[in-house]
Amino acid sequence: MQDERLVSPKQKEDDDSQAEKSLRPRSLNEFIGQEKVVGQLRIAVAAARARGEPLDHTLFYGPPGLGKTSLAGVIANEMGVHMKITSGPAIERAGDLAAILTNLQKDDVLFIDEVHRLNRAVEEVLYPGMEDFALDLIVGKGPSARNLRLKLPRFSVVGATTRLALLTSPLRDRFGSVHRLEFYSHDAMREIVLRSATILNVPITLDGAYEIGRRARGTPRIANRLLRRVRDYAQVVAEGTITLEVARAALAALEIDELGMDENDRRLLRAIIELFNGGPVGLSTLAAALAEEVDAIEDVYEPFLIQLGFIHRTPRGASPPTTPTSTWGCPAVRPPRPPPAPPPNRGGCCSEV
């Protein structure tokens, strides 16, 4: 169920298309939002280039879909080097990491997504690589075994994680620069939607872009996904241009309400209200009641609902900040009412973008 949600910040299969990749910014000037992080990276990149050194190892953390992978690509582009992409779960053995490290070129960027999922044996190989740009190998077995140190070209590790607390201290301390990515403002989301619409050649008004952006849960990945779905609606039902009315009608048809919640969010809130008397309720118990994975609730559902103020965490589990009737007995836990559909396409010019 989680993989099917339009408002899931997790990567989906259709997000890997060439069109999706083309929406990613290629430079710090193209990157919208995260002004504090971008400003710090701008200084770090300029200093590293002036010294002729690779960028210091950098860690990005925060909810999924906020641009951690995009920023890694931006860093590589700004430094004028190649980027090797991998992930914590993909590096199963120390030998896998050794093969990756020995194939890096001078000043390359090694991007490790879900870096918190690296196993300890792999981390032990990564430590000297990050610290001394060396690879420690054990040659032979038994009494004849000996240590062999291979020098590696200087490189930068860029890590990304949604679970900073799960990183081991030795690994976390080896990142010289650590940045938290925050949810985006409505204005920033509007600019992201406008930029994506321009790249995809989708006619859209400012109000239409703002409406999509404000319902995208402060997450660019969701905004781009919604833009494609609303584009389809506009082409079939309306005149091809995404106006405020078209955006509202399309999002209502997708059951995404004014707050950006979908039916799964409302189902979670109803479960806490109706099945558990408003809470508090433990995470594993709630996951069992919803037939969802604990990680999905903790990583995807909770952050957004906490941000809205609809739930908060207590030592006894999730619960509402006030009484269920005053906080959750509201239209937010019911599907949005679809507005009247726009008239069918009968020709005529498009409105201004």
Q: Residue 309 is part of a domain; what is its CATH number?
A: 1.10.10.10
pLDDT exceeds 50 at position 325: no
Tokens for 297? 């609730």
Among the candidates 135, 157, 180, a domain finishes at 180
- Catalytic-residue membership of 141: no
The domain containing residue 60 runs over which residues?
34-180
Among candidate residues 162, 205, 219, 243, the one labeled active-site is: 162
Among candidate residues 68, 214, 215, 248, the one labeled active-site is: 68
The alpha-helical segments, DSSP class H, found in 135-219 are: 169-173, 186-200, 206-214
pLDDT tens, position by position, 200-259: 999 999 999 999 999 999 999 999 999 999 999 999 988 889 999 999 999 999 999 999
Amino acid at 136: D
> Is 128 contained in some domain?
yes
CB-side neighbour CA atoms (13 Å) of 256: 25
> Is 256 contained in some domain?
no
Lowest mean pLDDT among 96-100, 110-114, 348-352: 348-352
Query: Residues 47, 149: one domain?
Result: yes
- Predicted model pTM: 0.82
Residue 349: count other Cβ atoms within 10 Å of its Cβ. Answer: 7
pLDDT exceeds 80 at position 324: no
> Is 85 contained in some domain?
yes
DSSP letter for 292, please.
-
pLDDT tens, position by position, 20-79: 778 999 999 999 999 999 999 999 999 999 999 999 999 999 988 999 999 999 999 999
Separation between Cα atoms, residue 214 and residue 234, nearest integer Å: 18
Find out whether 257 and 332 touch, Cβ atoms under 8 Å. Answer: yes
Helices and strands (H, E) in the chain, number of each type: 15, 9
Find out whether 219 and 208 touch, Cβ atoms under 8 Å. Answer: no
Q: What number is the average pLDDT over the span 91-97? A: 92
Separation between Cα atoms, residue 196 and residue 24, nearest integer Å: 9
Q: Considering all CA atoms of the chain, what is the largest pairwise distance in Å, rounded to the nearest integer?
A: 84
- Catalytic-residue membership of 221: yes
> Is 6 contained in some domain?
no
Find out whether 310 and 328 touch, Cβ atoms under 8 Å. Answer: yes
Query: Residues 174, 278: one domain?
Result: no
Q: Mean pLDDT of all residues in the chain?
A: 85
Residue with tokens 């899931």: 8
Separation between Cα atoms, residue 161 and residue 173, nearest integer Å: 15
> Is 4 contained in some domain?
no
Strands 134-139 and 146-151: antiparallel
Residue with tokens 């770090």: 44
pLDDT of residue 10: 63
Tokens for 276? 């558990």
> Is 21 contained in some domain?
no
pLDDT tens, position by position, 268-293: 999 999 888 887 888 899 999 998 89
DSSP letter for 141, please.
S
Among candidate residues 5, 58, 107, 113, the one labeled active-site is: 113
- Catalytic-residue membership of 174: no
> Is 150 contained in some domain?
yes
> Is 79 contained in some domain?
yes
- Catalytic-residue membership of 146: no
Find out whether 56 and 48 touch, Cβ atoms under 8 Å. Answer: yes
Q: What number is the average pLDDT over the span 104-114? A: 96
pLDDT exceeds 90 at position 196: yes
pLDDT of residue 329: 39
Among the candidates 180, 215, 242, a domain finishes at 180
Among candidate residues 172, 214, 217, 221, the one labeled active-site is: 221
Find out whether 33 and 62 touch, Cβ atoms under 8 Å. Answer: no
197 by Cβ neighbours in 10 Å (0-12 / 13-18 / 19+) ranks as buried
Q: What number is the average pLDDT over the span 329-344? A: 48
Query: Residues 82, 176: one domain?
Result: yes
Q: What is the CATH number of the domain that holds 54?
A: 3.40.50.300
Query: Residues 286, 156: one domain?
Result: no
Among candidate residues 58, 69, 205, 243, the one labeled active-site is: 69
- Catalytic-residue membership of 162: yes
pLDDT exceeds 90 at position 195: yes
Find out whether 324 and 273 touch, Cβ atoms under 8 Å. Answer: yes
Concatenated DSSP letters of 265-291: HHHHHHIIIIISTT--B-HHHHHHHHT
Q: Give percent above pLDDT 90 in the chain.
A: 62
Give which of 334, 331, 335, 327 is closest to 310, Cα–Cα.
Answer: 327
Query: Residues 49, 158: one domain?
Result: yes
pLDDT of residue 146: 74
Q: How many separate domains does the chain show?
A: 2
